[in-house]
Amino acid sequence: MVIPREAGRITYSANIRSMKRIPLDEYQKAVITGSILGDAYLEANWSKTNYRLGIRHSKDQEAYVGWLYGVLKPLVLTPPQHYDRTRSVWFRTISHPELSELQKVFYREGKKVIPKTITQYLSNPVTIAVWFMDDGNVVSRKGKTCGYHLNTQSFSEKENQLLAEAMNALYGIRCTLERNHRYYRLAIYQQWSRNAFAALIREHLLPSMVYKIG
């Protein structure tokens, strides 16, 4: 049986139309938001009427991609695929009205941005955990954990400041804006803040990702 796809000018099947009516639950929304803050992307479908979510990671993170697929499976037609040229694993969802609403929030003129309302999108610790699994790392010196990075270099200094203010307002976690070449990223070095950050996300990390918090 041929699985219907949205790629190209294909008439929507009843299955796809039904999938588009599936509401996202709070957990799925939190995972999607964390992914968008990280490496995921939202792209228009062929008719430019709605947006779909694309996930791509290195083959080393195949278990993580599989977990994301499990969470988003109600919106996915085809399981994760391997792309040998880049040693990556990827999948994408169907286009969906709620993803289109997120695109309006997190994109401007085709570029990913941090909205002024970011605080409301970071209120679920699952979002923070997914964001860190996607785009974070531990900072170690002489074998000891001394901080964490959230690699937000694709965002401007002002956008990084919005993220830092939101983390402080919601969780009391103080983030420093750290220069990384010509860009900025968030760093968490203060002892109380890094302990609070690790405690916040630990229970939401995949076993294969716990190494990231040291």
Domain extent at residue 126: 118-208
Sign of torsion, CA 88 77 204 36? positive
Mean pLDDT, residues 126-131 taken together: 98
Q: What is the CATH number of the domain that holds 192?
A: 3.10.28.10
pTM over 0.85: yes
H or E element at residue 161: helix 157-171
67-117: per-residue pLDDT in tens?
A: 999 999 999 999 999 999 999 999 999 999 999 999 999 999 999 999 999
On whether both 102 and 142 belong to a single domain, the answer is no
- Report the domain count for the chain: 2
Whether 9 is in a domain gets the answer no
Whether 198 is in a domain gets the answer yes
Residue 12: predicted pLDDT: 60
Residue 2: predicted pLDDT: 43
On whether both 129 and 197 belong to a single domain, the answer is yes
160-212: per-residue pLDDT in tens?
A: 999 999 999 999 999 999 999 999 999 999 999 999 999 999 999 999 999 99
